[in-house]
Amino acid sequence: MASGASPQLQMRLKSSFIRDRLLRCSTSRHQPLPQLFRYNPGTKHVSMQLSRTLSGLTNLFFNRRNLDELPNSKRKRLRPGKVSPRRQVPKNIPRPPYVNSMIPPGIASGAEVHDKKGIECMRASGRLAAQVLQYAGTLVKPGITTDEIDQAVHQMIIDNGAYPSPLGYGSFPKSVCTSVNECICHGIPDSRALEDGDIINIDVTVYLNGYHGDTSATFYCGDVDDEAKKLVQVTKECLDKAISICAPGVEFKKIGKTIHDHADKYRYGVVRQFVGHGVGSVFHADPVILHYRNNESGRMVLNQTFTIEPMLTIGSINPVMWNDDWTVVTEDGSLSAQFEHTILITPDGAEIMTQC
């Protein structure tokens, strides 16, 4: 558990790496699967009410509805491949405190607000994360497996004396998240080869000199159709517009309104169950950043760092989790895209820390 995190805070909104076992699991087997994810604004909780005891229900739902080809599409539903053994990190590279714990630490209380030295460390980790992401994007082509992308990302991170933050976060077995087509987030790299026309989000976080840099982007694989390209383009625009309104004193809820308003223009859905978060010496900290319209309180402060990471869908925003307890896909198999940056609140607005 991260320093300062209380048991109640572990039940808070599901950030981009908080798993089901930290959240309430009190559902009936007869409850419709989309309702297993529930956000309660009054209590600032998301109950992703899905546990290992319900893995059979998830499997039943997935096998019966997700194996078939998608209607009016040549694309087949995403299926899990074989996951290779966990990659090793040299012993001399410092690890985040949570490594080797099977329980993710959750969202730590208190914002990540930095002094001059902390800001420079955040710039360094953010720059490395951006460089790794840029390199990973050049690998995207038909025929490459997501496991091969993970291997390349892992090697580049450790070659730079950093630790791949996802590796060992709870039970996450890989160094990067690769989310293909209908995968909303947290896809585990495996033996599946990318196909012509796929889109893939690559989510990179590095831990360098005691600070995390967190970023992601969605890439085209080969010849991508116009529908997918438009979704990716608008998702990137949502992130850019959200960053542009950030500054000291601005209410966090304006981020959600900005993203939601732009997505609505194109009739795209905005995923609600996964959120941005404070980031710095702790992987996930306050504040919780909602990407949809909301009335949550809180304002940005100078020298604060956090992520904005909207996830948009062409169809349903209801998420379904695979039996690996990480991979989250759209209920109807519709495409999803995501972009993410770590930003620093400056006197004049916001600085993107995760850029080359």
Q: Which residue ranges are tagged as binding site?
A: 186, 203, 214, 277, 284, 309, 340
Q: Give the residue numbers of the binding site for substrate.
A: 186, 284
Q: Give the residue numbers of the binding site for a divalent metal cation.
A: 203, 214, 277, 309, 340
Cα separations in angstroms, 300 against 72, 102, 197, 243, 287: 45, 32, 39, 12, 9
Are 205 and 277 in contact by the 8 Å Cβ rule? The answer is no
Q: Is 213 exposed, middle or buried (0-12, 13-18, 19+ CB in 10 A)?
A: buried
> Could you count the other beta carbons within 10 Å of the beta carbon of residue 118?
18
